[in-house]
Amino acid sequence: MEFQSMVNIDFRLIGANIVNFLILVLIIKHFFYDKINNFMQTRTDEIATEITEAETLKAQAEGFKAEYIEKLGAIEDKSREIIKDATLKAEDKKSDIIKSAKEEADKVLDRNKVEIERERQKALEDVKTNIVDLTIFATEKVIKETLDKTKHEKLIFDFIEEVGEVK
């Protein structure tokens, strides 16, 4: 029973505290409730506005992102097209260079063929002339007399032409 004296409930003190609390709530409500309520409402409105602005900015950012991705795709397509065009131009240039080189080589080959043919004709003429001179010289030695050189040359050239045609 000793413990009963330690726990002591004073209902008057509890009632006074409740009355003091209610008076404090009424004073706060009377003087500060509207200010607090206005502050809270203003803060709620600001937060709602910020959320709306954030959502708007997010939507804009999504739009910019989509536009950026689209432009990036267009740039990639354009770069592929540029590379393709450059490759085609390079192939055309390569073909032109090869064609030009072949034409030049054919021209050189044709010139060389003409030059070779000219040299061959010149060599044949030299050989014919040498054969005529040698034949005349040999005939003179055998006959021991001088023949009419122009007549003799004509006979030898005719003979050489006939031999050349037979081959």
> Angle at CA 113, nearest 5°, toward 107 and 115?
100
Q: Are 127 and 140 in contact (CB under 8 A)?
A: no
167: which DSSP letter?
-
| Mean pLDDT of the residues in the chain | 85
Quote the Cα angle for 124-130-132, to 5°: 100
Residue 50: the pLDDT is 95
What 8-state DSSP symbol labels residue 145? S
pLDDT, residue 2, reads 56
Backbone angles phi, psi at 94, to 5 degrees: -60, -45
Pick the closest to residue 53 from 63, 64, 61 (CA basis): 61
- pTM higher than 0.75: no
Please state, as a whole number, how many other Cβ atoms lie within 10 Å of the Cβ of residue 43.
10
The overall longest dimension of the chain from CA atoms, in Å, is 186
Range 107-145 burial, b when 16+ CB lie within 10 A, else e:
eeeeeeeeeeeeeeeeeeeeebeeebeebbeebeeeeee
Q: Are 96 and 125 in contact (CB under 8 A)?
A: no
Residue 153's pLDDT band, with cuts at 50, 70 and 90, is: confident
pLDDT tens string 57-94:
999 999 999 999 999 999 999 999 999 999 999 999 99
Binned at pLDDT 50, 70 and 90, residue 21 comes out as very high
Q: Residue 32 has what pLDDT?
A: 87
Mean pLDDT of 32-55: 92
